[in-house]
Amino acid sequence: MKKFFLTCLQTILVVVALAQSKEEAAIQQIFNEALGRGKAYELLSDLCTNIGPRLSGSPGAAAAVEWSRHVMKDLAFDSVWLQPVMVPHWVRGQKETGRLISRKQGTLLLNVCALGGSVATGPAGVVAGVVEVKSFEELKALGSAGVKGKIVFFNRPMDATKIQTFTAYGGAVEQRANGASEAARLGAVAALVRSMGSNLEDYPHTGSMRYAANVPKIPALAISTKHAELLSRVLKEEKEVQVYLENHSVTLEDAPSFNVVGEIRGSEYANEIIVVGGHLDSWDLGQGAHDDGAGCVQAIEVLRLFKQMGYKPKRTIRAVMFMNEENGLRGGAAYARQAELQRALRDGVQPQVHIAAIESDRGGFVPRGFTVPTDAAAKAKVRSWKPLLEPYGLTDFSTEGGGADIGPLASQGVHLLGLLPDSQRYFNYHHTAEDTIDKVDKRELELGAASMAALVYLIDQFGLK
Amino acid sequence: MKKFFLTCLQTILVVVALAQSKEEAAIQQIFNEALGRGKAYELLSDLCTNIGPRLSGSPGAAAAVEWSRHVMKDLAFDSVWLQPVMVPHWVRGQKETGRLISRKQGTLLLNVCALGGSVATGPAGVVAGVVEVKSFEELKALGSAGVKGKIVFFNRPMDATKIQTFTAYGGAVEQRANGASEAARLGAVAALVRSMGSNLEDYPHTGSMRYAANVPKIPALAISTKHAELLSRVLKEEKEVQVYLENHSVTLEDAPSFNVVGEIRGSEYANEIIVVGGHLDSWDLGQGAHDDGAGCVQAIEVLRLFKQMGYKPKRTIRAVMFMNEENGLRGGAAYARQAELQRALRDGVQPQVHIAAIESDRGGFVPRGFTVPTDAAAKAKVRSWKPLLEPYGLTDFSTEGGGADIGPLASQGVHLLGLLPDSQRYFNYHHTAEDTIDKVDKRELELGAASMAALVYLIDQFGLK
């Protein structure tokens, strides 16, 4: 009897060992393929150099939609389709002008750019005195008396001592998002916002801003961090300086566009869907290489890797290129609406359920882990895979939640996850003319794609319950 | 009595909590200072742009010695001195030429550079047929019959599927180090080695090679990875091609040089020394930014941070800029000899003991952890600090050993450690004209310096026993 138990135990151990090595082998194969013969970098180079910037509503965005559809068809995914969505259509217009007019130093050019959504100064520009603030509290303390007729200069830097640069960004970005309306409430004529950058740089960072209801819309521009320092220094020395700002942005009517979806159908549970995605639109200044061309090509690469390995997923795996993350999130909302409709049985069509969505929208940098679901059981399950993922440098499973585009799926109980790359260099390039393909390291991009594929593989094998 | 025990327990817990928060606070302060007002990047920019390449024996190396001495004096370290050492003096000479002479394609230029230590072809160059091998076994199988009079082309790539690029480097670098002599044993006239690079690139990687005793010395050059692929393709198509190689390197007499040492004397155990270092010499092609200007400025920054914080170390903390890591390791050996001498009481001078040496020589990339001592107790102690270091992304304590320069201290029982940055981008730049300041990210460099300082602080506080 003892011998029988021992034999049972041995059998169990062997089975466990084999089961273990099956997943280890699959993940090894994913990384070998991605690093040895990966396509992510080649795809991203193509997208960046042959299409480049692709803000919602722009010709570049339309070309990027066709590019994605074409690429996924060429890779012979089971289905590839477009999902229509109306998007905001903001156009920067001719290059902005910024000038600092100092009594002591004469006129100095300032590197500025309009924030996305800003109204124009028009050809006459805006010229006014400048008041510098570091917070909305400081602004309010000044009151209309201190602000009326002025340009408000929001100059709170990203906190360099935060280890995670996204934390520093979160602590400063309200100036960009809401600064203009907060200033306009007190009678300001324009808002000039220190760029959301980690370092002292020559180039400005754009990004979305929004106007509050029932407040005058005033032009909102970003200034490079170096010139923010310059302006602040001159203000301290001279107290009164004038700044001239000119931009020609315009918001046109909403434009038609698309999310682009490609899928490999599941072999066992075809109606259970795992989404892996990034956003296809980018700001207009660079090539949208890290933000978020990287996420798009990584999502495509996940499906390509599975096909290349001959892996037949149990569930349906979908690569989604979301449109309009940068200034509206319309693509994410449209995708979630469709997903909601498909949860119900209609016209004899089998309902579909999304079990997980994983976004890569933190740049194509070396991966350090994943953001994990907020649901305790799902979170514990993802963390239980840590031993399988640690050999690939994936050790950080501490942050909850996914990306912006998949956010609207949360109300359907979909587990949201994200790729978590190292954040140190992200805000060197984010929303700038510097976000170009030469800033992306091939191996780092490939490791990110392989990491996403490994996670999708594990969710496909074991679910998240 | 129970109440008494509880009170004791509470007291102990409070004391533990306070002790804990003291270290947490110190490490927090280190990172705040390094990221908020750090000097590492400014120093590295200065070294790279105003001095640049600094191969042992070169004018650049002499200038870098003076630069280091001057910088550490300006920072008011307690002592700064030079430690003499004779170093090899190899000079590349005029730019190398490489040509592929193909019947079908005519003559194509090849991007090549001499390996450090190579003899010259002389102005007449070497022109010969080419035989490609991937390993020394393949080479031996060809025998003299297949090799005599030929240029041996070593074309085994770094294995892209290895997650740690240093592992891939380790798997390929014997071709560079020993290829020439292995080829010469069989009568080859020159060795052409595929560059030790992670990607397909246009530029070659230099690096040290050595000649075996009693084997003819033949010229040894590196070829860019792209041109290695080209040459391999043409060889497959045409079987017989000729290659022309020309280099003008020369090895001069050994030259005088120095390690540069700066220290802050310990307040309690001044005769116990903790070394933190990098190597000051670099290859001649780039600016030695990642290899190893980064390590040098990080070592200096450790001491500067302590002074800036007002931290008085218990032990003596020494920043050492080692000379000649790249092609001789003479500085490391000289430093260890001095340390050995000072262990004995002489002329009434108190003996000194090195308790730990920490090197940064893996580039100024985002830190992921530390290499740890081989001694079990010391290793366990370092790992016990993980909770204090993890908030800063320092999670990898899996690799044993330190850097090359501190290696010679091992026989004195000194615990060797190293900074462990992310390795993905290191072999894009290593030993090339591309190893320049613009490839170094300010925050990544600063995080490395702060990480080293945190580790030195913990060793200073608690020792390694």
Separation in Å, CA A153 to CA A70, A170, A232, A241: 45, 19, 9, 12
Q: Which residues contact A58 (CB under 8 A, 6 or more apart)?
A: A91, A284
Residue A147's pLDDT band, with cuts at 50, 70 and 90, is: very high
Question: Which token pair is B81?
Answer: 């001195």
**CATH of the domain spanning A29-90+253-462, picked from 3.40.50.2300, 3.40.630.10, 3.30.379.10, 3.40.50.920:** 3.40.630.10
What is the b/e burial string over B227-259, where b = at least 16 CB atoms within 10 angstroms of the residue's CB? bbebbbebbeeeeebebbbbbbbebeeebebbb
List pLDDT tens digits, range B142-191: 999 999 999 999 999 999 999 999 999 999 999 999 999 999 999 999 99
Burial label, A169 (beta-carbon count in 10 A; 0-12, 13-18, 19+): buried
The rounded distance, in Å, linking the Cα atoms of B217 and B220 is 9
Q: Look at residue A346 in the predicted model and tell me its pLDDT.
A: 74
The rounded distance, in Å, linking the Cα atoms of B263 and B282 is 23
The rounded distance, in Å, linking the Cα atoms of A300 and A318 is 9
For the domain spanning B93-248, the CATH number is: 3.50.30.30
Cβ distance B165 to A199 less than 8 Å, yes or no, reads no
Q: Which residues contact B364 (CB under 8 A, 6 or more apart)?
A: B44, B289, B290, B293, B294, B295, B298, B421, B440, B441, B444, B445, B448
Residue A21's pLDDT band, with cuts at 50, 70 and 90, is: confident
Q: What is the mean pLDDT of residues B228-253?
A: 97
Cβ distance A443 to B36 less than 8 Å, yes or no, reads no
To the nearest whole Å, the CA of A239 is away from the closest chain B CA by: 26
Q: Collect all residues of chain B within an 8 Å Cβ-Cβ radius of residue A366.
A: 366, 422, 424
Q: What is the mean pLDDT of residues B216-245?
A: 97
Range of lowest pLDDT (A14-18, B169-173, B322-326): A14-18
Residue A255 has pLDDT above 90, yes or no: yes
Q: What is the mean pLDDT of residues B123-152?
A: 98
B366 touches chain A (CB under 8 A): yes
Q: Look at residue A5 in the predicted model and tell me its pLDDT.
A: 54
Residue B278 has pLDDT above 90, yes or no: yes
Q: Collect all residues of chain B within an 8 Å Cβ-Cβ radius of residue A436.
A: none
Alpha helix positions (H), A171-275: 174-185, 225-238
Residue A2 has pLDDT above 70, yes or no: no
Q: Look at residue B444 in the predicted model and tell me its pLDDT.
A: 98
Residue B117's pLDDT band, with cuts at 50, 70 and 90, is: very high
Residue B14 has pLDDT above 60, yes or no: no
From the list A17, A22, A24, A6, the residue with the least C-alpha distance to A388 is A24
Q: Look at residue B10 in the predicted model and tell me its pLDDT.
A: 57
| A92 secondary structure, DSSP code | -
Q: Token match 């069989």: residue?
A: B186
Q: Token match 């007190």: residue?
A: A186
List pLDDT tens digits, range B361-405: 999 999 999 999 999 999 999 999 999 999 999 999 999 999 999
Residue B8's pLDDT band, with cuts at 50, 70 and 90, is: low
Of B31, B160, B444, the CB nearest to A424: B444
Beta pairing class for A151-154 and A190-194: parallel
Residue A282's pLDDT band, with cuts at 50, 70 and 90, is: very high
**B174-184 and B136-147 helices cross at what angle (nearest 10)?**
30
Q: Token match 């019947």: residue?
A: B103
The rounded distance, in Å, linking the Cα atoms of B380 and B372 is 9
Residue B37 has pLDDT above 70, yes or no: yes
**B294-309 and B442-462 helices cross at what angle (nearest 10)?**
60
A vs B: CB pairs below 8 A: 65
Question: Which token pair is B440?
Answer: 């170094």
Burial label, A17 (beta-carbon count in 10 A; 0-12, 13-18, 19+): exposed
| B173 secondary structure, DSSP code | T
Separation in Å, CA A194 to CA A92, A105, A185, A447, B185: 19, 21, 20, 33, 65
Q: Look at residue A91 in the predicted model and tell me its pLDDT.
A: 98
To the nearest whole Å, the CA of B117 is away from the closest chain A CA by: 31
% of chain B with per-residue pLDDT over 90: 93
Give A 70-109 residues with CB within 8 A of chain B: none
DSSP string, A114-134: EPBTPPP--TT-EEEEEEEES
Q: Angle at the Cα of A293 (from A291 to A295), degrees rounded to 5?
A: 85
DSSP string, B295-308: HHHHHHHHHHHHHH
Please provide residue B101's backbone torsions phi and psi, each rounded to the nearest 5 degrees. Answer: -110, 105
The rounded distance, in Å, linking the Cα atoms of B165 and B406 is 22
Mean pLDDT of chain A: 95
Q: Angle at the Cα of B223 (from B218 to B227), degrees rounded to 5?
A: 140
Structural domain spans, chain A: 29-90+253-462, 94-248
Q: What is the mean pLDDT of residues A413-442?
A: 98
Q: B77: phi > 0 → left, psi -120 to 50 → alpha, else beta; which? A: beta
Range of lowest pLDDT (A15-29, A77-91, B126-140): A15-29
A198 touches chain B (CB under 8 A): yes
The rounded distance, in Å, linking the Cα atoms of B18 and B404 is 38
A56 touches chain B (CB under 8 A): no
Cβ distance B163 to A442 less than 8 Å, yes or no, reads no
A325 is catalytic: yes
For B159, other C-beta atoms within 10 Å of its C-beta total 17
DSSP 3-state assignment of A376? helix
The rounded distance, in Å, linking the Cα atoms of A385 and A463 is 12
Cβ distance B443 to A424 less than 8 Å, yes or no, reads yes
Alpha helix positions (H), A38-113: 40-46, 59-74
Q: Look at residue A301 in the predicted model and tell me its pLDDT.
A: 98
List pLDDT tens digits, range A32-89: 999 999 999 999 999 999 999 999 999 999 999 999 999 999 999 999 999 999 999 9
To the nearest whole Å, the CA of A126 is away from the closest chain B CA by: 35
To the nearest whole Å, the CA of A260 is away from the closest chain B CA by: 31
Cβ distance A444 to B425 less than 8 Å, yes or no, reads yes
Q: A214: phi > 0 → left, psi -120 to 50 → alpha, else beta; which? A: left
Q: Contact at 8 Å (CB) between B370 and B360?
A: no
Mean pLDDT of chain B: 95
Q: What is the mean pLDDT of residues B62-88?
A: 98
Residue B4's pLDDT band, with cuts at 50, 70 and 90, is: low
Verify cis geometry, omega within 30 degrees of 0, for the bond prior to B375: no
List pLDDT tens digits, range A287-317: 999 999 999 999 999 999 999 999 999 999 9
Range of lowest pLDDT (A9-18, B35-44, B454-463): A9-18
Residue A349's pLDDT band, with cuts at 50, 70 and 90, is: confident
Q: Which residues contact A457 (CB under 8 A, 6 or more apart)?
A: A23, A26, A27, A30, A306, A311, A313
A201 touches chain B (CB under 8 A): no
Superfamily of domain B29-89+253-462: Zn peptidases (3.40.630.10)
Q: Look at residue B193 in the predicted model and tell me its pLDDT.
A: 98
Q: Contact at 8 Å (CB) between A286 and A432?
A: yes
CATH topology of domain A94-248: Glucose Oxidase; domain 1 (3.50.30)
Residues found in chain A: 465
pTM value surpassing 0.90: yes
Give the H/E segment covering residue B143.
helix B136-147
Residue A7 has pLDDT above 60, yes or no: no
Between the two ends of chain B, the Cα-to-Cα distance in Å is 36
Q: What is the mean pLDDT of residues A261-277?
A: 97
Q: Look at residue B350 in the predicted model and tell me its pLDDT.
A: 84
A443 touches chain B (CB under 8 A): yes
Of B36, B424, B444, the CB nearest to A441: B424
Give the H/E segment covering residue B223.
strand B220-223
Q: Look at residue B2 in the predicted model and tell me its pLDDT.
A: 54
Q: Look at residue A344 in the predicted model and tell me its pLDDT.
A: 84
Q: Look at residue A359 in the predicted model and tell me its pLDDT.
A: 98
Residue B345 has pLDDT above 90, yes or no: no
Rg, C-alpha atoms of chain B: 25
Q: Look at residue B3 in the predicted model and tell me its pLDDT.
A: 59
B395 touches chain A (CB under 8 A): yes
Q: What is the mean pLDDT of residues B302-325?
A: 98
Q: Angle at the Cα of A18 (from A17 to A24), degrees rounded to 5?
A: 90
The rounded distance, in Å, linking the Cα atoms of A184 and A186 is 5
Cβ distance A447 to B428 less than 8 Å, yes or no, reads no
Question: Which token pair is A227?
Answer: 């010139």
B442 touches chain A (CB under 8 A): yes
Q: Collect all residues of chain A within an 8 Å Cβ-Cβ radius of residue B443.
A: 160, 165, 198-199, 424-425
B129 touches chain A (CB under 8 A): no
